[in-house]
Amino acid sequence: MIAIFKKELWSYFGNWSAWIIIAAFSLIATLFLFFFDNDFNIFDIGMASLQSYFVLVPWLLMFIIPALSMKTFAEEQQTGTLNWLFSQPLKVSDLVLGKFLSVWIVGILCLIPSLIYLYTVYVLGVPAGNIDLGMTFGSYIGMIILIAAFSGVGILASSLSQNQIMAYLLGVFMCFIMYFGIEQLASYKLLGGADFILQNVGFYQHFLGFTRGLIDFKDVAYFVFIIGLTLALSNHFINKKK
């Protein structure tokens, strides 16, 4: 698993793809938070808070994480190297876990430049330091967990696909449905009392608690279950390709 993890990380950073994705992610976030006239602009909000960043980032991750994960299995199958991996002395579960960890780590690294935003808001606050650090750090923890969930979904999409384009489109679709689609469907109140259950199936309600600085065991357990489920399904579908 460690060998696969190192190989995948090198494939991201060795050909500059990870650096380009991290730079693009940071540039888009910076433009929305400080330059574009929109609801996310920190100066327009007039509050020393990064909450608009934590509202914006999941939408960016819906496109970034599938771009990272689409090559994990779809490319291996497309180029024929998946059969070579099957001939090596490693378990499919190690293969899945190694690729998942590499996508997760690169996704987390996308958040590192946002520490500059945190410092900027901290300094510009009146008085300086007038920012809810508990809520901010809780949101960061939520983002790290959400990235893991998106990574699991992206790996599953790649394991189901024959090529990278299909893996990317399926990954974006699945991430969108899990984060926003289910939440919107529940908001229409079509199922009566079952709407609450449906609402808690998606990512949004569980992530919302973190953005308020609340680290609830139920939310953490939910994401751990989703990550475990997506990886188990990925393991199953890759085993069927042997």
| pLDDT recorded at residue 41 | 85
| pLDDT recorded at residue 61 | 95
Query: What sign does the dihedral 55-226-231-142 (CA atoms) show?
Result: positive
Tokens of 115: 């520490």
**In the chain, what is the greatest distance between 2 CA atoms, to the nearest angstrom?**
62
* d(C-alpha 112, C-alpha 130), whole Å: 22
> What are the backbone dihedrals phi and psi of residue 188, each rounded to the nearest 5 degrees, phi first?
-80, -10
Residues with Cβ < 8 Å from 205, sequence gap 6 or more?
183, 199
Instruction: Output DSSP code: residue 179.
Output: I
* d(C-alpha 68, C-alpha 107), whole Å: 8
Q: What string of pLDDT tens digits covers the 242 residues of the chain?
A: 888 898 888 888 888 888 999 999 999 999 998 888 888 888 777 777 888 899 999 999 999 999 999 989 988 888 878 888 888 888 899 999 999 999 999 999 999 999 998 888 888 777 777 788 888 899 999 999 999 999 999 999 999 998 899 999 999 999 999 999 888 888 777 666 677 777 788 899 999 989 888 888 999 999 999 999 999 999 999 998 87
Find the helix or strand (DSSP H, E) in which 157 lies.
helix 133-160
* d(C-alpha 60, C-alpha 135), whole Å: 21
Query: Hunting for tokens 């709407």 — which residue is that?
Result: 195
Overall size of the chain counted in residues = 242
* d(C-alpha 19, C-alpha 110), whole Å: 9
| pLDDT recorded at residue 78 | 82
Nearest-CA neighbor of 238 among 173, 146, 167?
167
Cis ω for the linkage preceding 113 (within 30 of 0):
no
Tokens of 88: 């090596």
Determine the structural domain holding residue 40 and report its residue range: 1-240
Number of domains in the chain: 1
| pLDDT recorded at residue 191 | 66
* d(C-alpha 234, C-alpha 157), whole Å: 8
| pLDDT recorded at residue 110 | 94
Tokens of 17: 């793809």
Using the CB atoms, write b or e for 177-199: b if 16+ within 10 Å.
bbbbebbebbeeeeeeeeeeeeb
The answer to whether 231 and 100 have CB atoms below 8 angstroms apart is: yes
* d(C-alpha 20, C-alpha 68), whole Å: 11
